[in-house]
């Protein structure tokens, strides 16, 4: 599988369900691509406004906090523009409506590559992750059809062939692509540390002794320290798999109109050839 790794300038569209979805899995990669001069856009589909265990914070206030956190974090890693679609958080997304909007943005931003959640990973319980990942993948594969959503074309847009969809994380298909983030790991950590609302929610992961409903400044400082350690060890663990100091992992699919280009790999396997090993992209 030949990926688009040329020095040409790429337009990259990151499509996430919630404000913090990209941070842990691909913040280092996005920072690296921004440093390489690629234009990176991020769509945050929902308002992220149920993501807390506190009951003393109204949804509207949480939405504002999350949007501020994401803008501050994205500035650190060089995201060119952050787009908020503000769908309700927690499983109420109209898939067809979202897909049309995503196709619109793929065309408008002339996206060459989409980065998104893997909707086919087993035991994915969050309905927003499933529908957003699926609609993002479909947007990548369907934006090239000129007869689909012709109203976009009436607005001056043209069909767009988005060549690749990168699924982040490693809980789904085995990764076929690792990105060296040794030079941007520190940026990734600074990026993630902006998501204070997430740390309180995930405190069980970092520090089970801290009550997520009652996090003060001392506890937050402690959580950030533990999160930094966790992130470094995560990057190191992925890096070890491909002899890098620090890495992030992806499952990348090349697109054809209406399809993923699965056939090359499948044909090779049918012929009895060894499947391609993961690459450093």
Interface with Zn ion (CB under 5 A): 17-18, 21
Residue number with CB closer to Zn ion (86 or 279): 86
90: left (phi over 0), alpha (psi -120 to 50) or beta: left
Nearer to Zn ion, 21 or 138 (CB): 21
Tally the C-alpha atoms within 13 A of residue 110's C-alpha that lie toward its C-beta. 8
Q: Which is nearer to Zn ion, 110 or 126 (CB)?
A: 126
* Three-class HEC string of the chain: CCCCCCCCCCEEEEEECCCCHHHHHHHHHHHHHHHCCCEEEEEEEECCCCCCCCCCCCHHHHHHHHHHHHHHHHHHHCCCEEEEEEECCCCCCCHHHHHHHHHHHHHHCCCCEEEECCCCCCCCCCHHHHHHHHHHHHHHHHCCCCCCCHHHHHCCCCCCCCCEEEEECCCCCCCCEEEECCCCHHHHHHHHCCCHHHHHHCHHHHCCCCCCCCCCHHHHHHHHHHHHHHHHHHHHHHHHHCCCCCEEEEEEEEEECCEECCHHHHHHHHCCCCCCCCEEC
The residue (of 18 and 32) whose beta carbon lies closer to Zn ion is 18
- At its nearest, how many Å lie between Zn ion and the CB of residue 194? 16
Distance of closest approach, residue 77 Cβ to Zn ion, in angstroms: 18
CA–centroid distance for 82 within its chain: 13
User: Residue 93 or residue 281: which is nearer to Zn ion going by CB?
Assistant: 93
Shortest Å distance, C-beta 6 to Zn ion: 32
Which residue, 64 or 276, has its beta carbon nearer to Zn ion? 64
Min separation Cβ 168 and Zn ion, Å: 11
- The CB-of-126 to Zn ion minimum distance in angstroms stands at 6
> Do 8 and 117 touch, CB atoms closer than 8 A?
no
Task: In angstroms, give the least distance from the CB of 157 to Zn ion.
Answer: 29
Least gap, CB of 132 to Zn ion (angstroms)? 8
Torsion of CA 92, 94, 95, 100, to 10 degrees: -140
| Residue nearer to Zn ion on the CB measure, 17 or 223 | 17
Nearest distance from C-beta of residue 200 to Zn ion, angstroms: 15
Task: Between 46 and 176, name the residue whose CB sits nearer to Zn ion.
Answer: 46
């Amino acid at each position: 599988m030949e990926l688009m790794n040329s020095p040409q300038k790429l337009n990259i569209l990151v499509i996430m369900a919630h404000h913090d979805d990209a941070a842990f899995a691909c913040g280092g990669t996005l920072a690296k691509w921004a440093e390489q001069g690629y234009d990176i856009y991020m769509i945050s589909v929902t308002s992220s406004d149920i993501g807390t265990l506190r009951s003393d914070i109204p949804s509207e206030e949480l939405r504002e906090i999350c949007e501020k956190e994401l803008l501050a974090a994205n500035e650190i890693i060089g995201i060119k523009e952050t787009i908020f679609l503000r769908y309700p958080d927690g499983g109420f997304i109209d898939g067809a409506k979202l897909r049309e909007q995503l196709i619109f943005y793929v065309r408008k931003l002339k996206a060459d590559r989409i980065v998104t959640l893997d909707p086919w990973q087993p035991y994915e319980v969050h309905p927003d992750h499933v529908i957003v990942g699926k609609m993002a993948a479909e947007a990548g594969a369907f934006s090239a059809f000129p007869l689909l959503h012709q109203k976009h074309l009436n607005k001056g847009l043209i069909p767009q062939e988005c060549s690749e969809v990168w699924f982040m994380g490693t809980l789904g298909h085995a990764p076929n692509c690792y990105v060296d983030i040794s030079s941007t790991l520190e940026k990734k950590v600074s990026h993630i540390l902006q998501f204070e609302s997430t740390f309180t929610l995930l405190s069980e992961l970092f520090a089970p002794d801290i009550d997520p409903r009652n996090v003060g400044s001392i506890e937050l400082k402690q959580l950030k320290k533990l999160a930094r350690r966790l992130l470094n060890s995560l990057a190191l663990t992925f890096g070890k798999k491909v002899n890098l100091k620090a890495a992030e992992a992806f499952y990348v699919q090349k697109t054809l109109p209406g399809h993923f280009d699965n056939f090359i790999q499948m044909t090779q396997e049918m012929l009895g050839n060894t499947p391609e090993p993961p690459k450093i992209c």
